[in-house]
Amino acid sequence: MTETYSKSRQRAETAFGNLQTEFFAKNNAAGELESVAQARDAKTLRLREARLAKEQADRISATSALLAKRSKSR
């Protein structure tokens, strides 16, 4: 069922369609940026936790090495 519209109505429909397309494109872009930001934050948190765990393990290792060295020298 094809309806025929006046030229002004057709132009208005086309303009509205273009505006809607831009609107949805901006929403998609904003969603993608949010997704990238969330992924970045998750990676940063994961790397921070790994770094802190490594630093703690290094401190424990250094402390135990120092204690072992002190007990040998006595």
pLDDT(44) > 60: yes
Give the mean pLDDT of 41-59.
98
Helix, strand counts (H, E) of the chain? 1, 0
Please indicate whether residue 2 or residue 66 has the higher confidence score (pLDDT). 66
74 pLDDT tier (thresholds 50, 70, 90):
low
Q: Per-residue pLDDT tens for 8-36?
A: 988 888 888 888 888 788 888 888 899 99
Closest-CA residue to 66 (of 53, 74, 55): 74
